[in-house]
Structure 1
Amino acid sequence: MGGYLIRHLIIADDHPICVSALIAAVHAVDSSIQVRTAETLGEIQDLLATESFDALLLDLALKDCQGLANLAAVQAVAPRLPVLVVSGNAASNLPAKAAMLGARGFLNKTAPLAEMKSAIAVILEGGTWFPAREEQAESLTGRLSPAQLRVMAELAQGKSNKLIAYSLGLTEPTIKSHLSAIYRALGVHNRSQALLALRQGADEAA
């Protein structure tokens, strides 16, 4: 990314105040950066399908998908896109899990503007930005593997096993096996309970 190139960035968050703060931080880095916003995972996927971006600032609690399933879904379609996860709670293993899933950084929503600016600048320059200290308490999404999180991201969009299998390039029996493992990991018995458990976990992390 040369100095004369206009960079393009997505801010995915459904809280207007947070979006405004992040836009201010982005433009504090470089006023020429073009920002697109999204409130849902579907909107992110539509943008990625039609345009090229230099980074994504991703909230973990979107309207149509919750938790680290958002990150897993983005990584599935744009594995090289630098992602800075933005959350209201860094006092968990979320930063470590986000890093494991391919995020370049993890930023607390309560961070001051100067810290937001620094994190965004580092991500755009190819670096990483994670909290210096991380608690070890395991979140619900922390119990799932990257493959299981991708299945949950598809499930959150209301897709059938057949459509999930098609979307992820897997067989239906494989999807059923993943779902059984997800139910066991979350201590639930069906799709609705699994989605509810993940939403509740995302609420605690948002």
Structure 2
Amino acid sequence: MSQGRVIIVADDHPLFRVALSQAIASLDPQIRIIETSDYDEAYAALGRHQDAELMVLDLNMPGMRGFSGLVYLRADQPQIPVIIVSAIEDDDVIRSAASFGASGYIPKSSSLREIKEAIEKVLSGETSFPADMIAGVPDASQDLGRRMASLTPQQIRVLTFLTEGKLNKQIAYELNISEATVKAHVSAILQKLGVNSRTQAVIVAGKLLVEDKSANMAREEATQT
């Protein structure tokens, strides 16, 4: 690897962030590793380092809002591959990560060797997902991923505000644009998502949220004991 490469590591768990950085440093000590602990920091780092070769992104850290953070980063900086890391090992979640544009998925149960191999594969232009979990991404997930990927960064911002129940006037204020521009964005969002109303758009956006089925089952079992 050549000197000057930058990789951004975004994870709010210090110990795992260190493990990720160690795996990257073992590939080449000259790689510059930028560590961040929440989505806002990660996005700011990406703005400062648009030549970064990779972002390693914790799915569950503050500010991510499920897959919304991934979708936004892919729309804003499509040239930078993203590896998702998470304690969630649910097949559907991993398949969704692939459909929303992730180049890899590293379960937090992975060994240091497995982490290193996954990062190395993505840096070489390949993808890296758990072999026994990624087979057969459902057509519906692929279609949703394509539709979300067609949105511009500004349209994703508007869609995020729609999910929060904000009115056009409020969105215009937040984004410092006119209400007419907001209306134009909403119309474009509806068309790209293939829906007819703001409510339907919010329902589609809700599919970006992540449900950890195994964790939900564990909670249900705990309440029954």
The 5-angstrom pairing of residues 113-128 of structure 1 reads 113-128=112-127
- d(CA) in 1 for partners of 2:158 and 2:118? 29
2:211 alignment partner, one of 194, 201, 204: 201
Q: Does 1:161 align with 2:171?
A: yes
Deviation at 1:124, TM superposition (A): 1.1
Q: Counterpart of 1:191?
A: none
CA offsets, 1:23-81, max 9 Å, x none?
A: 11111222211110122222222222222201000111121232111100111110110
- d(CA) in 1 for partners of 2:69 and 2:121? 22
Q: Does 1:180 align with 2:199?
A: yes
Percent sequence identity over aligned pairs: 24
Deviation at 1:18, TM superposition (A): 1.1
- d(CA) in 1 for partners of 2:58 and 2:162? 16
TM-score (norm 1): 0.74
Q: Counterpart of 2:222?
A: none
Q: Counterpart of 1:111?
A: 110
Change (3 A) 1:124 1:173: closer
TM-score (norm 2): 0.68
Which amino acid counterpart does residue 131 of structure 1 have in structure 2? P
Q: Counterpart of 2:33?
A: 35
Change (3 A) 1:119 1:165: farther
Deviation at 1:22, TM superposition (A): 0.6
Q: Report the aligned-residue RMSD.
A: 3.8
Please tell me whether Structure 1 or Structure 2 has the larger radius of gyration of its CA atoms: 2
Contact kept? 2:8, 2:36, Cα under 8 Å: yes
Change (3 A) 1:121 1:153: farther
Q: Counterpart of 2:16?
A: 18
- d(CA) in 2 for partners of 1:183 and 1:157? 5
Contact kept? 1:65, 1:157, Cα under 8 Å: no
Contact kept? 1:11, 1:37, Cα under 8 Å: yes
Contact kept? 2:23, 2:113, Cα under 8 Å: yes
SS at match of 1:84: strand
Q: Counterpart of 2:47?
A: 49
- d(CA) in 1 for partners of 2:73 and 2:131? 25
Which amino acid counterpart does residue 101 of structure 2 have in structure 1? G
SS at match of 2:26: helix
Q: Kindly indicate whether structure 1 or structure 2 has the higher relative contact order, using CA contacts under 8 Å at least 6 residues apart.
A: 1
Structure 1: give runs of 5+ residues left out of the alignment.
187-193
Structure 2: give runs of 5+ residues left out of the alignment.
191-195, 217-225
Contact kept? 2:63, 2:69, Cα under 8 Å: no
